[in-house]
Structure 1
Amino acid sequence: MSTEELLAALDDDQRAVAEHLSGPLCVLAGAGTGKTRAITYRIANGVRSGAYNPQTVLAVTFTARAAGEMRSRLRDLGVGGVQARTFHAAALRQLSYFWPTAIGGSVPRIAEHKASLVAEASGRLGLGVDRVAIRDLAAEVEWAKVSLVTAEDYAAQAARTGREGAAGHDHATIARLLSVYEDVKNERGVIDFEDVLLLLVGILLEREDVAAEVRSQYRHFVVDEYQDVSPLQQRLLDLWLGKRREICVVGDVSQTIYSFTGATPRFLTDFPRQYEGAPVVRLVRDYRSTPQVVDLANKVLARAGRYRSSAAVELVAQRPGSVPVRFETYDDDLAEARGVADRIAALSKDGVPLSEVAILYRTNGQAEALEQALAAAGIGYLVRGGERFFSRREVREAIVLLRGAVRSSVGQAMPEAVRDVLASVGWAPEPPSARGAVRERWESLSSLVALADDLHATRGSDLGGLVAELDERMAAQHAPTVAGVTLASLHAAKGLEWDAVFLVGVSEGLLPISLAEGDDAIAEERRLLYVGITRAREHLQLSFGRARTPGGRASRKRSRFLDGIWPDEGSGTRGGLSRRAAARARTEVFAEENPADAELFDRLRGWRGEVATIISKPAYTVLHDTTLQAIATAKPKDLRQLAVLRGIGATKLDAYGPQVLAVVRGEEVDVQEWLAR
């Protein structure tokens, strides 16, 4: 693409971000507004225009997955060499490089977990704590370090910020624990993850020559999820920058949900004051969610009153209208789990892939009943935070075989080569009838097949390119999509999105959690609900059980965050619509809101009906209504433009792409003849 073609792919606000290449910039980006798109196009524009040398750009994210996604997008835009890393990964890389000359020797070993260190420190103090207490104390140690609070200052700082200590221990005891914890680390010759940043900060402060070398290497900075920056991370960022002002920050105060770890939105809200004259761009156009979902999200935030920040963004939906949000009240948690499983089964029959469905909850203890209900319904699922994708045995075996096949598959198309290789470890085109481990193994291998198809269609990758992509994803723990319902806590769901989302347990005591005390804590619980709502693209259901167990006391009440929003019992919206009625509603809403595209949408549906009849399959398996609506709105002119639309994978593109384009052009399509080709 030319620079103008690159920028033409953005809306006006995103383009304002991409065209601002020099000096400080603050981007307030609401959920689903394309912030990653805006900042990657900004970097690409800077490199293409010659304003940036890609090797001098450092993009900082908060998860390895997000960093991997950013690198992937930049590659797709033809921009290589840009460093996209987490704060810790970038700091560790610099620390390892400068340690031999600044300190001498090699960097101490990093302790993967604090538990054993905290347990020993607790034992020395005679605290006699259990596993749960160790976890809470480790979290308090982490908060103190990322907040730049020393053992000497802890009691005063904890009192000032309203922290109540941890595991039932007072501030003085926690302060002693912090001191002994450092002693234990030093005796073992290890450092923790926070030390990586602290030690680098110390080197940059003491060694001006090291600081100068870092600043000569990195001249332009982009920081994503800036509302989650801790004082320690901000201190490091300031040292990276020196006196320069070449920084772009992107964040959303309404998604601040990690205050308990030391994150603070203060740096985001204070940015225009710290960098006087810095422009502030608001991204408000929500391309992710339907108007029904966006309206609910805005209403939840609007009821925050004085606890809603002036920097908060009110979303404006860009997608066509669709089905209403569902609100369900169940007798108990088991009934809720069964009801959710039944609803997921219905969505699956309507063509919503299981990989595009998520169940989100406030605490991990809520997952057990949901897992049982899904298993009983024969619905595959994966628990986010469970075994990592790249740690699975079948995935490790497959990658080894794919590496070995790189040379032997010369001349063979990559998707076919991948299928041949994976067939040797048990993959087949059709899923097995068995459930459990057998089905999970097949789903893992199928996700590799889908990734191969996608890379071949979008990048023209060969087998070597696929292996390289897998190596990078493995390092970043950026797993391909696995065909199963995702179960995740609301915190773990941040940064993700699905076609259908079920928010369970939206009741007092769970949301807000009973442990949340004080106005600030309650405000953060409200933001947590907002994050959960904005994960949904189209289908959203909120529910709770009146009792914890069948026959138990039905004393639960819906969350206070939904007062004035939850429909009255018997209002007609509680139970939602039947599948066919919902489909008709989506069609009618689309026609009303998009009159210029309605005729093309009808023709596309007619074409799809003919295809479905000829191949004897349900219409939704050809292309879903939402995909046809996207086509009718975008009116793609070629296969490249068609391929970028959601729901058009490599297989669909190959099978139906030319026919779809012909329908868009207004041509008569002989479906029988096309399929005979």
Structure 2
Amino acid sequence: MEKDEILKQLNPEQASAAGTVNGPVLVLAGAGTGKTRVITFRIAYMLACGIPPQMILGMTFTNKAAREMRERLAQLVQPQIARKVTLGTFHSFCIKILRRDIAKLGYLPSFTIADESDQQGVLKQAAGQLGCNYEGFPLGEVQSMIGRWKNKLYFPEDARRHADTTFEATAAQLYEEYQTLLEMQNSLDFDDMLLLVYRLFTEHPDVLERYRETYQYLLIDEYQDTNAAQFTIVKLLTGDRCNLCVVGDDDQSIYSWRGADISNILGFPDHFPGAKVVKLEQNYRSTTSILNAANVVIGSNANRHEKQLWSNLGDGEPVKIVTTENGESEAEFIGSMITQMKNDKPELRYQDFAILYRSNHLSRQLEQTLRRQQIPYRLVGGQEFFKRREIKDAVAYLKLLVNPCDDQSLLRILGTPPRGLAQKAVDSLKTGRRAKHKPMFELLAEEEFQKELTPKAAAAAREFAEVYAKYKERFAEPGALAWKITEFLKEIGYLDGLQRIYKDLKDAMKRRENVDEFITAITQYEERQAEPPTLEAYLENLALLEESDKVEEETGTVDAVTLMTVHASKGLEFPVVFVVAMERNIFPHERALEEGSVEEELRLFYVAITRARKYLYLLRAKERMQRGITRATLPSPFLHLLTDEVAERTTPEELLRPASEDEVRQAFANIFKILKSDQ
């Protein structure tokens, strides 16, 4: 496609953003303004200008977004050219760099990625070695603090220097010991990926120069979500060329609690002098009524880039603010309204409805009511499949194959199932680890260590090490992962051992089904790859699965109403949206009122409003049960921003018409169905 043809398919503002190739560009993309379209058309335009695809690097925050960009790009340019453009998440890009160059920092390229529970285990180990009683010490808080320090590019010595309290000083000590243990185990946590790339770029200028030469054009999506580490890496990569385009919306910056720094997008023109700023304000998602409400809400925030969303989709239905008596009647109203709207508008399906809430605990009443009314729903954010104990155990077995230094994985699986290695053997491994500075797995395989064990335990240790040696060889060849993993888990005794781990037969069978489903997921992963993948590549893919990628899986194609937090809804859209519990201390959250961070709560409310395409209901209850006590509530101060000009105040009685005979018959049929299933 010719350059001019590409730009003709965009509106004037989009074309300006896509057609400015050189120098720094900030694209302020309001909700629903065609952000992904602009990004993909910009890359297509760059390619049409003769820029080699290998020189273009696009980074975003989710695998889903990266995949969607690549799919759309392949519709604009030849698929083989689209494949040569580097598109991925920040973390996947960093892993690519580290696999190649991490040896310069003293790690082995076969490092594994410690998940949250692995990190907790290492932190407990660190606390034990420093003599802290971790049972009474808030290690969860320390874990979060270490993450925040790493996102600010603080190494342990920096953390010690910035510690203002006794707690922070202790946390800084733990950080140092934690980091030492991770390095000994050749493991990285999620935040290390950014921190170590920063180290590589600053300590080894030749590595930075190589990547600057390779990637001469950078494009960053969701720039409002970047933290200090990501900002610094981008700044280092751009160098003097500064061919950098960032796309984002400061009005949707809702992740400060994860380290996101809104000043990165607000201060872009200062950070990159001479930057061109393009505002995308035409919304292609929502009606004018919904956008008027959104503009009023976000307009009350002072610290922002000025934008005004508008739409050609017509006025549509007014936004409704619905007051109910209590939480129960709020849920009843939503269920009845869904049924009524489906009856009145046959084109609507259950999957067109979303119920959003500020905090997860608010879903309980909604779930009970929807079940009772026989309305199918899916709850986003329940227990994640890959966090189930039996799946984490299976993953630990595989991680040890890739990285024999991973003590945390070994400790997890050594007694899962029981194999005759008592606690005494585990304690000996820990002692040997400290004394000999050898990985526990290496010690376990040594004859000298096995002599200290009972004959039964020594035989178990020998067999365990032999099976690992056999399969390490098999996994050296890429491909056939699902088959090899099944055989390995059988031979190592895990699959048949599930019955010994979970004594209840039904529970053990359910866990086995979940492991089988895990194998199926691996098969599907293999089918999606262009070349036979390695076990290392699969584990990397698994570690980089973002929350939003899991949300995508959970909100698939099943026809059901979606229940989710507002945070989880970002990036999604629905024809009909209900936002519940619009009450003081719930939305905005009481913590935000105490800490003075109401601006982010207001942005979160703006995100909730802009998920709706046609119908938006904002609900508040006069009283709500909290912590077992029914209390009177006050309306959210955010509702006061919505005057009668932009929202209609009403009640369930005014919105729900009397049920027809058919609907009454259906309701009775549902009741009988429930009674019959309970017998």
SS in 2 for 1:193: coil
Secondary structure of residue in 2 paired with 1:541: strand
SS at match of 1:117: helix
Tell me if the contact between 1:331 and 1:554 (Cα under 8 Å) persists in the aligned partners: no
Does structure 1 retain, via aligned residues, the 8 Å contact 2:54–2:214? yes
CA deviation vs aligned residue, 1:493-527 (integer Å, no higher than 9, x gap): 11221111111111111111112245651111111
1:311 & 1:287 partners in 2: Cα distance?
Answer: 20
How many residue pairs get aligned? The number is: 502
The superposition leaves residues 530-567 of structure 1 with CA deviations (integer Å, 9 ceiling, x where unpaired) of 11111111111111223223996442111111214265
Matched residue, 1:556: 633
- Written as runs of structure 1 = structure 2, the 5 A alignment for 1:177-256 is 177-256=174-253
Query: 1:212 Cα deviation (Å)?
Result: 2.2
Q: Which amino acid aligns with 2:174?
A: L
What does residue 658 of structure 1 align with? none
Q: 1:388 offset after TM fit, Å?
A: 6.3
Corresponding residue for 2:439? none
**Cα distance in structure 1, aligned partners of 2:325 and 2:649:** 19
The corresponding residue for 1:63 is: 62
Give me the CA root mean square deviation: 3.7
Q: Which range moved further: 182-191 or 289-298?
A: 182-191
Say whether residues 1:267 and 2:264 are aligned partners: yes
Residue 625 of structure 2 aligns to a residue whose secondary structure is coil
DSSP 3-state at the match of 1:548: strand
Does 1:541 find its partner at 2:617?
yes
Amino acid at match of 1:68: R
In the aligned structure 2, how far is the partner of 1:283 from the partner of 1:87? 24
- Contact 1:334–1:549 (CA<8 Å) still a contact in 2? no
Measured after TM superposition, the shift of residue 144 of structure 1 is 1.4
CA shift at 1:187, angstroms?
4.2
Give the secondary structure class of the aligned counterpart of 1:499. strand
Q: Which residue of 2 is the match for residue 615 of structure 1?
A: none
Task: Give the equivalent residue in structure 2 for 1:419.
Answer: none
**Cα distance change on mapping 1:572 and 1:523 into 2, 3 Å:** closer
**Does 1:332 pair with 2:326?**
yes
Decide whether aligned partners of structure 1 residues 156 and 266 sit closer, same or farther in structure 2, where only a CA change above 3 A counts: farther
CA distance in 2, matches of 1:487, 1:495: 15
CA 303–177 in structure 1, closer or farther in 2 if over 3 Å, else same: same
Q: Deviations over 1:243-301 (max 9, x none)?
A: 22110011111111111222112121222122222210011111111111111111112
* Cα displacement (A) at 1:78: 2.4
Local SS of the residue matching 2:608: helix
- Conserved in 2, the CA contact under 8 Å of 1:254 and 1:312? no
In structure 2, relative to structure 1, the CA distance for the partners of 1:206 and 1:504 (3 Å cut) is same
Q: Flag the 1:312–1:89 CA change in 2: closer, same or farther, 3 A.
A: farther
Question: How is 1:376-415 mapped onto 2 (pairs within 5 angstroms)?
Answer: 376-386=372-382
TM-score normalised according to structure 1 size: 0.67
Give the deviation of 1:529 after TM superposition.
0.8
Residues 419-452 of structure 1: CA distance to partner in whole angstroms, max 9, x if unpaired? xxxxxxxxxxxxxxxxxx9xxx9xx9xxxxxxxx
Answer yes or no: is the 8 Å Cα contact 1:326–1:576 preserved in 2: no
CA distance 1:363–1:68, shift in 2 (3 Å): same
Cα offsets for 1:382-412 (capped at 9, x unmatched): 22234669999xxxxxxxxxx99xxxxxxxx
Cross-structure match for 1:511: 587
After TM superposition, list the pairs within 5 Å mapping 1:312-327 onto structure 2: 312-327=306-321
1:291 aligned onto 2:288: yes
Question: 1:530 and 1:125 mapped to 2: Cα distance?
Answer: 47
- Residue 624 of structure 1 is matched in structure 2 by none
Aligned to 2:571: 495
Q: Residue 257 and residue 56 in structure 1: after superposition, are their counterparts in 2 closer, same or farther (change >3 A)?
A: same
2:5 aligned with 1:5, yes or no?
yes
Separation in 2 of the partners of 1:522 and 1:338?
30
Mapped partners of 1:76, 1:577: distance in 2: 48
Deviation at 1:137, TM superposition (A): 3.4
Deviation at 1:11, TM superposition (A): 0.8
Q: Which amino acid aligns with 2:112?
A: R
1:22 offset after TM fit, Å?
1.4
CA deviation after TM superposition for structure 1 residue 573, in Å: 4.2
Q: 1:498 & 1:98 partners in 2: Cα distance? A: 44
Give the conservation status (yes or no) of the 8 Å contact 1:326–1:575: no
Report the secondary structure of 2:31's partner residue.
Answer: coil
* Other structure's SS at 1:507 match: coil
| Contact 1:228/1:265 (8 A) holds in 2 | yes
Matched residue, 2:38: 38
Q: CA deviation at 1:151?
A: 4.2
Shift in alpha-carbon separation, 1:155–1:558, aligned structure 2, 3 A? farther
What's the CA shift for 1:220? 0.7
Q: Does 1:111 align with 2:114?
A: yes
Aligned to 1:521: 597
Taking structure 1 as reference, are residues 2 and 243 closer, same or farther at Cα in structure 2, changes over 3 Å only?
closer
Helix, strand or coil at the partner of 1:516? helix
Max Rg structure: 2
Q: Give the structure 2 partner of residue 609 of structure 1.
A: none
Could you say what secondary structure the match of 2:622 adopts?
strand
Q: Secondary structure at the match of 1:245?
A: coil
Instruction: Name the CA distance, whole Å, in 1 between partners of 2:573 and 2:307.
Output: 19
Q: Does 1:366 align with 2:362?
A: yes
Letter in 2 for 1:263: A
- 1:154 is displaced (CA, Å) by 4.0
Q: Distance in 1 between matches of 2:640 and 2:163?
A: 33
Q: Distance in 1 between matches of 2:297 and 2:571?
A: 19
- State the secondary structure of the residue aligned to 1:148: coil
Q: Give how far 1:333 is off.
A: 1.8
Instruction: Find the counterpart in structure 2 of residue 147 from structure 1.
Output: 152
CA contact (8 A) 2:219 2:244 kept: yes
- Aligned to 1:178, what secondary structure does the other structure show? helix
CA contact (8 A) 1:502 1:540 kept: yes
Q: What TM-score do you get using the length of structure 2 for normalisation?
A: 0.67
Q: Does 1:352 align with 2:325?
A: no
1-structure distance, mates of 2:648, 2:113: 58
Query: How many Å apart are 1:101 and its aligned residue?
Result: 6.4
Q: Deviations over 1:327-374 (max 9, x none)?
A: 112222222222222222233332222222211111111122222222
What is the percent sequence identity of the aligned residues? 33
Distance in 2 (alpha carbons) for counterparts of 1:134 and 1:265: 28
- Looking at structure 1, the residues matched to 648 and 67 of structure 2 have their Cα atoms a distance apart, in angstroms, of 46
In 1: Cα distance, 2:372 partner to 2:132 partner: 47
Within 2, Cα distance between the matches of 1:546 and 1:554? 9
Amino acid across the alignment from 1:89: S
Q: Mean Cα displacement is larger for which, 266-275 or 35-44? A: 266-275
Cα distance in 1 for residues equivalent to 2:72 and 2:372: 39
Once the two structures are superposed, the pairs formed by residues 91-170 of structure 1 within 5 Å of their partners are 91-100=94-103, 103=106, 105-113=108-116, 114-122=119-127, 124=130, 126-129=132-135, 133-154=138-159, 157=162, 170=167
Q: Is the contact between residue 323 and residue 652 of structure 2 (CA under 8 Å) also seen in structure 1?
A: no
Aligned-partner residue type, residue 291 of structure 2: V
- The change in CA–CA distance for 1:23 and 1:55 in structure 2 (over 3 A counts) is same
CA distance in 2, matches of 1:203, 1:533: 42
Q: How far did residue 119 of structure 1 move? A: 3.6
Output one character per residue of 1:561-597: Cα deviation in whole Å (capped at 9) or x when no partner. 12142659x976445976999xxxxxxxxxxxxxxxx
Q: Check 1:200–1:566 CA distance in 2 against 1; reply closer, same or farther (3 A cut).
A: same
Distance in 1, Cα, partners of 2:649 & 2:600:
32
Mark the CA change 1:562 to 1:354 in structure 2 (over 3 Å): closer, same or farther. Answer: same
SS at match of 2:588: coil
State whether residues 100 and 109 of structure 2, in contact with CA within 8 Å, keep that contact through their aligned partners in structure 1.
Answer: no
Tell me, in whole angstroms, the C-alpha distance in 2 between the residues paired with 1:466 and 1:105.
Answer: 28
Aligned AA (2:609): I
What secondary structure is seen at the aligned counterpart in 1 of 2:558? coil
CA distance in 2 between counterparts of 1:134 and 1:43 reads: 45
> Cα distance, 1:325 vs. partner?
1.2
Selected match of 1:280 from 259, 277, 283 = 277
| In 2, Cα distance between equivalents of 1:245 and 1:175 | 36
Conserved? CA contact 1:27–1:250, under 8 Å: yes
